[in-house]
Structure formats: structure tokens, C-alpha cells
A and B are shown apart, each in its own frame.
Chain A
């Protein structure tokens, strides 16, 4: 059951990711990215990260990507111009990518035992309570720092966006 679910969501994620890369129109890429995120959220749930799954939905899919789509609409970005793509890119890039993935998979298999597996519900540490506790006790300082970071980001965004270019 777990395996089926995993394969399902993984397939969705990969297909969406490939689509992201292949689509020439930003909106399509954005939506496929949303797809990836949704699939990942479900995988997080499977890994017992309830809070992270929810955060993934709310923050990533709900806020960040909406922002992207917003900008795309605002700029009314069209398709990419078709350029005569250099041949070596396609002929070297794709095998390179495949090789990269293969090696990565190899390394990971070396690193991790195949025996231990993920069973849904066997991880109980991802509950919001746990996250909150460790967020406000162990990682309090980083948390506060991130708040400052966010503040800075907001200011920067406002300044950048509100600047009038003549």
C-alpha cells in the first residue's frame, strides 16, 4: 500500500517536474511546480510530517506560487522565444543529467540500507506540537532571526517594486 502510494505521488512529482523543465510557457511551468509541491506534501504526510505537509501547502503552494503566477500575469509573460538551441546542449546535457541521477542513486544506495523502510504512521515526531516545542525552545534564535529576515525581505521587495523607473 505504502509503496503504491509512494510510486503514485513520486510519478506525479517527476512528471510535473519534467513538465516544468520542458514547458516553454511560465504559467505551465508554475502550475507543474504546484503539482510537484502537492505531491511532495502528500509524501511528507507519508513520512509523518503533518505540519510540514500543511506548511508546504499553505506557504509554498498557497502563497509563493500564487505570487509567481501573480507576477507572470502582471508581466503578461509569453512563451520563450525559440532559439536555435546549440546542439551540444541537448546531446550532452540530457545524458549528463541521466548520468548524474544514476550516480546519485548509486551513492544513496551505498549510503542507506535498503532494509529499513517507511511505514505510514510509524513516525510520530512531525506533529505540530513537537514542531512548535522544538521551534520555540531549541531553535528559538534562528526562528527570531528568520522573522527579521522576512521583515528585511518585505522592505526590500517594497523598495524594489515601488521604485519608479523613468
Chain B
């Protein structure tokens, strides 16, 4: 018994304290509570993991802790129980560790914002739900965490609820997620029907016993529905649209929720239910295709964005795509590995971007930056680390994970490998485009003398920088072997491996050429490829498409049909009718309510006698038999 329940409970306590009394607390107290709770959670994670021997080669099999039975109905018995295996251990460390860093960072970043306590309360609540999600030992509990993080992301995206676009973005994220969650819940229902339980242990052991489905069956259905949920949460095609807008939230939120942790929940969930996916090649195939498509697609959009956070948002989408490719090609451990490294460098990217924005007091447009390298050197340095990491420059963290994913992609289908490779190039390109636009050249901004961020902000950045450079040497796949056996790495052909090595550098070089050496080049390119440029620049008009295809019909439909006809006509009519009937009956029955206790008792007794008579005649003997 490692008292795992303490881990999520600490942030919850923080949320309760800050949420209830934060209004009256001074900032120092709020900080202490918020950061302290998460830090404590992190320490507790370390303690319990080391106690379980997670760091010393132990924790081969899952360590389950049952706390109490939550739902007991018929055969279905859902308990509130947490579990830790190596996968969970990795996720726990990522969530709590990066969570702690980002909390610390947020202390500095939000220092001048309103609704301070609210922000940290939400952040802690998010940590609580995220940890519940990660620790859960059955699908329902996981779903609770899943919905919870969705709620928190909604709250935090709409944190500046005075801005229309923020609230809109929040709604968008929420609604799009609902679609995914709908699929997820359907999947849960199917699982309940077919396995009779939701507990991971029994479900997966049953799943392992099943034959592999060559033709789609209910396992495929389950897997695909789970995938729908995952695409919603992890912003994959077609449900990725909410993530870029989600950048309306404060930057720490973008870093924590929309880069490091929550959006990887889908990946985690698929990896967790790998034993279901492994039995449905079709589903795996879909996962992989969706992943590669998303990766490519988002990367192209990322090429031309001018809002620094948007750029990183699309890169997030495309990196998530990579993770899905990893999962879909059966390299689950590689996917998780990329989750970790991505958590490092993407959090770093966002926080760095945040620090830039902070320096420029709110300016997010790349065209308004430039030449910041001298003004905010530390930020520049850490952002450089992050950029090379994501660009997959050899021996940075991003390189290792991406490498693994692409290798398995090559085994799976070479074309996928080449697309992924190209995407990697694009990634390197647009990241460094952003980097050069921001830090080189001469300053184009209006804000005068940008200032370096305080220590609380660049301290975490430094740690993250170190991680995103060296994080790749943590051999996650090896660590996760008990869960996801490694395929014996068949060597890539030399050409492929070489291009894999070089692609990042090429992308960087290209970006250097276009945005440092010959700044005029991009415009001329854009003008020469005008139609494509506009198409990409407007994100392939996906949002507009959704608008006309989904939103308007729905709205009109609800207006005319649901509201006017069904609601006002049928339902209200029925309800009022019921009411009228009830009144009519009541006016008759009212005379029974004489107000005399004994007459009431008389009715009761009459009923009792009736029961006894029935018992006597039918001879029902309640439990007591001869």
C-alpha cells in the first residue's frame, strides 16, 4: 500500500483551498499552496515509485490499490482503485514534474494578471484530474479524469472570459472534445457489454486471450471508438481544430495542458489499451494513417503562421501526429517516448514563447519581433535548445524519439516513413523560421526595451532546456519493455538513416537561408505560389468548412425543428398536459389528505394488509424457506 491516493489529493486540496478562500489570500499564500501542493505530489510520486522499485528495475507488473467500491450493479463492479505500472510511472513523472516547473513559471508569468487565485485553483484542479486519469485502474475512473481535464482546459482557455475570442475558443474546445468523448463513452459501453467489467487488469487479460481480428468486428469497433476519443483529446484529424484556438489561454496553460500533458492523454489511453488495439490491425492502421496525415497537414499549416503561439500549436498537433504514427505502427513505447521528449521541448517552446511575449508585454506576432537575441539572451538560449530538440538535430531528445517512430514507420510502410521524414524537415523549418524571425535581424516591434523575465520564469526554462537536450538518453523503450515488447530493430537502409540524421539540419539550413540570409525570399515565394499560400495560410479553410458543414445546419436544425416544433410543440405540450392531468387527479385525490394522522395510518395499514394477503395467497416466502 503506497497510498497513491495522496498524489491526486494534494492538488485537489490546493484547489479547494485556493478556490474557496483564494480571494482573501495574499499572492504569496496562493503561490505556496498551488506550487507546494504540486511539488509535494511530485515528491510523493518519487517516494512511492522508488518504494515500488520503479527506478531500480522493479515494478515489472502492475501495483494495484483498491480503495472502495464505487458502483456495484449486477455483475458490473466498478471500484475506485489506482494502479502503477511502468507506463503510469513515466506519465506520473512527466505530469507532476513538468506540472511543478510550469506552476513555478506561472507564478512569474501571471504575476500581473487578474483572477490570480482562480488561475491557480484551475491549474491545481487540472493536476488532480490529470493524475486521476493517469492513475486510474479502470476505464470509468479514467473517463472521470478525462472529462475533468476537458473541463479544466475549457475553464483555462476561457480564462480571459472578458475576451470574446477566448470564450469562443473555450466553447470550441469543449464542444469538439464532447464529440470525442461521445465516442469514448460508446467505447466504454461496448467494453462493458463485451467484457462485463471495466477494470484494466481483467479487460486486457481477456483481450489478450481473444483471437486477432483479420476482419472488423467488435474489437475493431471498440478500438475505433477509443480512437475517436483519442483524436478528440489529442487533436488529431478531424478533431484537431480546437487546439490552435486553445492558445487563447494563458501561455503556461498552453504549455501544461495543450502541449505537455492533457493532449497526450489520448496517446496514453491508446497505449494503455494497446492489448485491444493489437487485436485489430485495421484500427492500428487507421491510427497510423490519421497520425501521419495530421503530422503532415499540421506541419504545412505551421509553415506560414505568424502568431508565435499558433506556430507552436500546429507543431504540437503535428508532433501528436508523430506519436499516433508510433502507436499505429505498433511502437507504443516509441510513442510514449515521444510523449516524454515532446513534453520537455514543447513545454519549453511554449514557456519560452511565453517569456518572449512577456518580454514584449503581450506581443505575439512574429512580424513585430526580431533581433531579440541581444535583449533577452537567456530566453533565446533556451528556445534554441528547444528548437534544435524539436527539429530532431542528432543526439537531442527529439531526435531519438522521432528516430524510433520513423524506424517503426519504415517497417510498417516505407511511404509513411518518407512522409514522416519530410514532415520532420518541415518541422525543423518552421520552428527555426519562428526562431530566426524572433531573435535575429533587427527589432521591428513597437514596444520599447523588452526586458528579460525574472528568475522564477527562466529557472524552470533552464531545467527544461537541459531535459530537452539530454532527455533522449533516458531509454524509455527499454524501460517499458515489460509492457510493450520491442520489435528487434531491423536496420534502415543507409539512405534512409542518413537522411534521418540530416533532415533536421537541412530544414534549419533552409530556414536560415530564407529568413536570415535572404529575407526577401519568403514573400516572393508566397507571391509565386499565391493560391497554395492563401490556402495554407487560412488553414485549408477547415474552420470555415466545419462552419458551413456542421455548425450552421445544426443551429438551423435546432432552431426550426427541435425548438419550434418538438420542444415548444410536443414536449411542452406533453409536460403541460401531464401537469394538467396531475392537477385534475390531485383535485380528486386531495380529499384523501384529511390531515388526520390516523386516516393516513389507516391507508398505510390497508396497504400492509394487502401485502400480507398477497403473500398468503401466493405463498411468497421472503427468503425464509423450509
Contact = CB atoms under 8 A, between A and B. Distances in A.
Interface of A: 96, 100, 103-104, 106-107, 110-113
A110 B617 CA distance: 10
Given A110-B619, A110-B621, A100 B626 contact: no
Interface stretch (B234-242, B321-329, B519-527, B608-616): B608-616
Question: Interface residue tally of chain B, by bracket?
Answer: 10 to 19
Nearest to A103: B616
Contact of A106 (B616, B622, B625, B626): B616
B616 A110 contact: yes
Contacts of B612: 100, 103-104, 107
Interface of B: 609, 612-613, 615-616, 619, 621-622, 624-626
A82 B424 CA distance: 100
For the complex of A and B, the 5 pairs showing the least CB-CB separation, nearest first, are A111-B621, A107-B616, A103-B616, A113-B626, A111-B624
Contacts of B609: 96, 100, 103
A61 B615 CA distance: 34
Contacts, number: 22
A103 B619 CA distance: 11
Contacts of B619: 110
Contact of B624 (A103, A104, A106, A112): A112
A103 B611 CA distance: 11
A81 to B, nearest CB: 15
A103 B613 contact: yes
8 contacts: A96-B609, A103-B612, A103-B613, A103-B616, A107-B612, A107-B616, A110-B619, A111-B622
Contacts of B613: 103
Contacts of A110: 616, 619, 621
A110 B624 CA distance: 10
A57 B493 CA distance: 93
> Which residue, A100, A107, A112, A113, has most C-beta atoms of chain B within 10 A?
A107
A13 B582 CA distance: 47
A95 to B, nearest CB: 12
Nearest to B613: A103
B611 to A, nearest CB: 10
Contacts of B615: 107
A107 B7 CA distance: 57
B614 to A, nearest CB: 10
A104 B608 CA distance: 11
A105 to B, nearest CB: 9
Nearest to B609: A100
